[in-house]
Amino acid sequence: MTARSVVPAYVRPTPARVAGMPARGWTLVLLVVMVASLELYARSGAVSRLDLIPVSEMATRSIELLGDRDFVVDALLRSALLICVSFVASALVGVGVAYAMSRYRWIHRAMKPYVNVFYALPIFALYPVMVVMFGTGMVPIILLATLFSVVIVIANSLVGFESTPPIVTKLARSLEMTPSQQLRKILLPSALPDILAGLKLGLGYAIIAVLATEFILATTGLGQVVNRAYNNFNTVDMYAGIVFVSVFALLANLTLSAALSSFDWRRR
Partner 1 sequence: MNARSVRESHRGASTDRHPGSPAWAPPLVLAGLIVIAWAVSSSLADSAVYPGPAEALESLWSDLSSSRFLGSVVDTARVLLLSYGAAVVIGSVAGMMLGLSAFWSGAALPLVYALNSIPKIVLYPIFLLFLGIGDMSRGSFAFVSGVLPMFLIMVEATAGVSRLHLKMSASLGMSRWSLIRRIVVPSVLPSLAAGMRLCFGLTLIGLLLAEMFSGSSGLGYELLRNLSLARVENIMGQVLLIGVLALVPTLALQQLELRIRRRYEVTA
Instruction: Give the residues lining the site for partner 1 (CB under 8 A).
Output: 7-11, 14-15, 18, 23-24, 26-27, 30-31, 50-52, 105-106, 109-117, 119-129, 131-133, 152, 155-156, 159, 197, 201, 204, 207-208, 211-212, 215-217, 223, 226-227, 230, 235, 238, 241-242, 245-246, 249-250, 253
CB of 263 to partner 1, least distance (A): 16
Q: How far is the CB of 258 from partner 1 (least distance, A)?
A: 14
| Closest C-alpha to 193, from 263, 254, 252 | 263
**Cβ-based nearer residue to partner 1, 25 or 184:** 25
User: Cβ of residue 87: shortest distance to partner 1, in angstroms?
Assistant: 14
Q: Which is nearer to partner 1, 14 or 44 (CB)?
A: 14
Within a 10 A sphere around the Cβ of 61, how many other Cβ atoms? Answer: 18
| Nearest residue (CB) to partner 1, 120 versus 258 | 120
The β-bridge relationship of strands 21-22 and 17-18 is: antiparallel
Q: Which is nearer to partner 1, 12 or 184 (CB)?
A: 12
Largest CA-CA distance found in the chain, in angstroms, rounded: 76
Residue type (1 letter), 248: F
Q: If you ran DSSP here, which 8-state letter would residue 71 be given?
A: I
Q: Which is nearer to partner 1, 93 or 201 (CB)?
A: 201
What is the C-alpha separation between 26 and 6, in angstroms, rounded?
26
Closest to 94 (Cα-Cα) out of 44, 31, 139, 159 = 159
